[in-house]
Structure 1
Amino acid sequence: MSDFGIPSDVIEIRGIRGFGRHGVFDHERADGQEFVVDVRLELDTRQAAASDDLADTVNYGVVAEQVHQAIENDPVDLIETLAQRIADLCLADRRVTATAVTIHKPSAPISVPFDDVVLTVQRRAGESS
């Protein structure tokens, strides 16, 4: 149940990989690196369950393609900007009431050993970005 008393179901797409040129350093823009994105979409899937029709739900294949395109095009300095951009595209479908977008930057320019840099943003439909 969502915060608003409306049933909230979840579709998650994990591990969308793409090669992007996001970052504040010149070498990040020139060389690029892999980014991995997870998205969580909250929506009510009861109509789709009743109709058994893809038109009544979010097509997660299309969402994955849009996220991949966002990773690979239009470089930005900050992963915060990329995450917001992806959250906005997830919320563009009126059926999505909330989203969480996680950006993984496993090759971030950090001078000590590390596994991953991760940012997660959470957004609700109707909130201004």
Structure 2
Amino acid sequence: MSIASARLGIRHVFLRDMVLSASIGIYPHEHAARQRVRINVDLGVEDEAARAGVAVGADELGRVVSYEKVADSVRSIATAGHTRLVETMAERIAESCLADPRVRSVRVKVEKLDIFPDAESAGVEIERLRG
């Protein structure tokens, strides 16, 4: 899966394998105890330097999408109250990422890690595009 593209002027910003304790699920036992979820986020971000054909841009935080802010947002969404569906959590994360107008696309994967004893995980992956 390639997201970065000099031709399209897109930078790939990502967050890999963030594991959090979340209140998530539709069953009564899932309301009673938090469970581990693994979250991955991939962003396609406008890259002005690539679009202009410049190899190296200015070293300024203000011109990039901060993966720290993405991580903070993911933590906030995943730990804020109970969410019934992994799909809902993924949609909320995608929406928060698309709030930055430089983000052109977002792919979010949310996995429950302790749901089945014979599977590493179960979950959902979504992709959303601006406009």
Output the TM-score relative to the length of structure 1: 0.86
Q: Matched residues, percent identical? A: 27
Gaps of 5+ in 1: none
Instruction: Map 1:1-129; keep pairs closer than 5 Å.
Output: 6-47=8-49, 49-108=56-115, 110=116, 113-126=118-131
Q: Residues of 2 paired with 1:87 and 1:14: CA distance?
A: 15
Q: Residues of 1 paired with 2:49 and 2:64: CA distance?
A: 8
1:86 touches 1:101 (CA, 8 Å); kept in 2?
yes
Q: Residues of 2 paired with 1:92 and 1:64: CA distance?
A: 14
Residue 85 of structure 1 aligns with an amino acid whose one-letter code is R
Q: Residues of 2 paired with 1:71 and 1:65: CA distance?
A: 10
1:47 touches 1:56 (CA, 8 Å); kept in 2?
no
Q: Residues of 2 paired with 1:17 and 1:65: CA distance?
A: 13
Q: Residues of 2 paired with 1:59 and 1:9: CA distance?
A: 12
Q: CA deviation at 1:47?
A: 4.3
Gaps of 5+ in 2: 51-55
SS in 1 for 2:82: coil
Q: Residues of 2 paired with 1:7 and 1:41: CA distance?
A: 13
Q: CA deviation at 1:29?
A: 1.2
Q: CA deviation at 1:43?
A: 0.9
Count of matched residue positions in the alignment of Structure 1 and Structure 2: 123
More strand by share: 2
Q: Residues of 1 paired with 2:86 and 2:108: CA distance?
A: 11
Q: Residues of 2 paired with 1:80 and 1:37: CA distance?
A: 12
Residue 23 of structure 1 aligns with an amino acid whose one-letter code is G
Q: Residues of 2 paired with 1:42 and 1:28: CA distance?
A: 33
- Give a deviation string over 1:71-124, Cα, whole Å, max 9, x none: 11132211001100000001111000000000011112x4x6211113100000
- After superposing on structure 2, the runs of 4+ consecutive aligned residues of structure 1 that deviate more than 2 Å are 44-49
CA RMSD between the two structures: 2.1
